[in-house]
Chains A and B, each alone.
Chain A
Amino acid sequence: MNIFTKIYFTFFPAYLKNKDMPKEKIFRYRRLWLYSASITAMVALAPLIIMTVMNLNLYQGTFEDEIKSPIITRISTAKRNLEFNLAERQAALSFIINNHTLEELSDNDKLSEIFFHLRSAFGGFVDLGLIDSQGNQLTYSGPYDLSGRNYLDQDWFNAITLHDSYVSEMFMGFRGFPHFIITVKYVKTGGDFYVLRATIDAEFINRQIQALEIEPSSDAFLINREGILQTPSKYYGNTLEKCPLEVPPFTNAVELNEFNHESGGMFFHGYAYIEESPFIFMALERHDELMKNWFTLRSNLLSFLGASIILVILVIFWSSTRLVHHIQEAEDKREKVIHDLEYTNKMASIGRLAAGVAHEINNPLAIINQKAGLLKDIVEFDETFPQREKLNGIIDSVLQSVDRCGAITHRFLGFAKRMDLQAESIELGHLIQEVLGFLGREAAYRNIEININKSDDVPTIESDRGQLQQVFLNIINNAFAAMKENGILDVSIRKIDDYSVSVTVEDTGKGIAKENLEHIFEPFFTTKKEGTGLGLSITYGIVKKLGGDIQVESNIGKGTQFEVILPVNTGPKREI
Chain B
Amino acid sequence: MKDLKVLVVDDEEEFVSALVERFTLRDIYAVGVTDGKLAVERVSEHDFNTVILDIKMPGIDGLEVLKALLSLKPKLKIFIITGYGSTDLGADGLKAGAVAYLPKPIKINNLIQMMRESLDNDGESSE
Residues of A near any B CB (own CB < 8 A): 355, 358-359, 362-363, 365-371, 373-374, 377-378, 381, 402-403, 406, 410, 412-414, 416-420
Do the beta carbons of B108 and A367 come within 8 Å of each other? no
B91 touches A420 (CB 8 A): yes
Closest B residue to A365 by beta carbon equals: B105
List residues of chain A with CB within 8 A of the CB of B107.
Answer: 373
- Cβ-closest chain B residue relative to A370: B18
Tell me how many residues of B have a C-beta within 8 Å of chain A: 23
**What 0/1 readout, one digit per residue, does chain B (22-53) give for beta carbons within 8 Å of chain A?**
10011000000000000000000000000000
Q: How far is the CA of A366 from the CA of B111 in the complex (A)?
A: 14
A418 and B88 in contact, given A373-B22, A377-B25, A406-B105 (Cβ under 8 angstroms): yes
Contacts of B105 in A (CB 8 A): 362, 365-366, 368-370, 402-403, 406
Q: Mark B1-21, 1 if CB is under 8 A from A, else 0.
A: 000000000001011001101
B22–A363 CB distance below 8 A: no
Query: Please, which residue of chain B has its CB at the minimum distance from the CB of A364?
Result: B12
Contact at B85–A412, with CB atoms within 8 Å?
yes
- Residue B104 interfacial (CB < 8 Å): yes
B84 touches A413 (CB 8 A): yes
Shortest C-beta distance, B109 to chain A (Å), equals 9
Whether B104 and A413, one on each chain, are in contact in the complex, defined by CB atoms closer than 8 angstroms, is no
* Residue from the list B26, B81, B83, B87 in contact with A419, Cβ < 8 A: B87
A374 touches B85 (CB 8 A): no
Name the distance in Å between A398's Cβ and chain B's nearest Cβ. Answer: 12
**Given A358-B85, A362-B83, does the pair A369, B22 have CB atoms closer than 8 Å?**
no
A9 to B26, CA, bound (A): 82
Interface residues of B in 67-113 (CB under 8 A from A): 81, 83-88, 91, 103-108
Some 22 contacts from A to B, beta carbons below 8 A apart, are A359-B84, A359-B85, A362-B104, A365-B104, A366-B83, A366-B104, A366-B106, A367-B15, A369-B105, A370-B108, A373-B107, A373-B108, A374-B21, A374-B25, A377-B26, A378-B25, A381-B25, A402-B105, A410-B85, A412-B85, A416-B85, A418-B87
Residues of B within 8 A of A416 (CB): 85
Distance of B31 from chain A, by nearest CB (Å): 16
Whether B87 contacts A417 by the Cβ 8 Å rule is yes
Query: Across the interface, do A417 and B18 meet the contact criterion of CB distance under 8 Å?
Result: no
Bound CA–CA A414/B85 (angstroms): 7
The 3 A-B residue pairs with the shortest CB-CB distance, nearest first, are: A413-B85, A362-B83, A370-B18
Chain A: minimal CB distance from B28 (Å)? 12
Residues of B within 8 A of A (CB): 12, 14-15, 18-19, 21-22, 25-26, 81, 83-88, 91, 103-108
Flag if B84 contacts A374 (CB, 8 Å).
Answer: no
Interface of A is mostly: helix
Q: Least Cβ distance of B54 to chain A in Å?
A: 9
Alpha-carbon distance A229/B14, docked complex (angstroms): 140
B25 touches A369 (CB 8 A): no
Q: How far is the CA of A324 from the CA of B52 in the complex (A)?
A: 67
Residues of A within 8 A of B14 (CB): 367, 370-371
Give the distance in Å from the alpha carbon of A413 to the alpha carbon of B106 in the complex.
15
A373 and B83 in contact (CB under 8 A), knowing A362-B105, A363-B12? no
Contact A366 B91 (CB under 8 A): no
Report which residue of A368, A369, A410 has the largest number of chain B beta carbons within 10 angstroms of its beta carbon: A369
Q: Is there contact, CB below 8 Å, between B18 and A373?
A: yes
Q: Tell me the smallest distance from the CB of A406 to a CB of chain B, in Å.
A: 5
B22 near A377 with CB under 8 A, answer yes
Residues of chain B lying within 8 A (CB to CB) of residue A410: 85, 103
A110 to B127, CA, bound (A): 183
B contact residues around A412 at 8 Å (CB): 85
A373 to B91, CA, bound (A): 28
Q: B91's closest neighbor in chain A, by CB? A: A420
Chain A neighbourhood of B81, CB < 8 A: 366
Chain B, residue nearest A380 (CB): B25
In the assembled complex, which residues on chain B have CB atoms less than 8 Å from the CB atom of A377? 21-22, 25-26
**Separation of A366 and B103 alpha carbons in the complex (Å):** 10
Q: Are B22 and A370 in contact (CB under 8 A)?
A: yes
Q: How far is the CA of A416 from the CA of B12 in the complex (A)?
A: 24
Residues of chain A contacted by B104 (CB below 8 angstroms):
362-363, 365-366, 369, 406
Q: Give A371 Cβ to nearest chain B Cβ, in Å.
A: 5
Which chain B residues lie closer than 8 Å to A359 at the CB level?
A: 83-85
Bound: A370/B24 CA distance, A: 13
Taking CB as reference atom, which chain B residue is nearest A369?
A: B105
Q: Which residues of A contact B87 (CB under 8 A)?
A: 417-419
Nearest-neighbor residue (CB-CB) of A354 within chain B: B85
Shortest Cβ gap from B116 to chain A (Å):
18
Closest to A417 in B: B85
A370-B85 in contact given A362-B104, A381-B25 (Cβ < 8 Å): no
How many angstroms between the C-alpha atoms of A571 and B14 in the bound complex?
A: 45
Contact A366 B85 (CB under 8 A): no
* A381 closest partner in B (C-beta): B25
Q: Which residue of B lies closest to A420 (CB)?
A: B91
Question: Using Cβ atoms and an 8 Å threshold, which residues of chain A touch B84?
Answer: 355, 359, 362, 413
Cβ B86 vs Cβ A370 within 8 A: no
Among B26, B83, B106, B108, find the residue whose CB has the most chain A CB atoms closer than 10 A: B83
* Contact residues in A for B108 (Cβ distance below 8 Å): 370, 373
Residues of B within 8 A of A402 (CB): 105
| CA distance in complex: A374, B104 (Å) | 16
Given known contacts A359-B83, A410-B85, A413-B85, A374 and B103 CB-to-CB distance under 8 angstroms = no
Residue of A nearest to B18 (CB): A370
B18 and A367 form a contact (CB under 8 A): yes
A370 and B15 contacting across the interface, CB-CB below 8 Å: yes
Residues of chain A with a CB closer than 8 A to B85's CB: 355, 358-359, 410, 412-414, 416-417
CA A531 – CA B86 in complex, angstroms?
Answer: 25
A417 and B84 CA atoms in complex are apart in Å by: 9
Whether the pair B86, A417 counts as a contact (CB closer than 8 A) is: yes
Q: A414: which B residues are within 8 A, CB to CB?
A: 85
Task: Give A362's nearest chain B residue, CB to CB.
Answer: B83
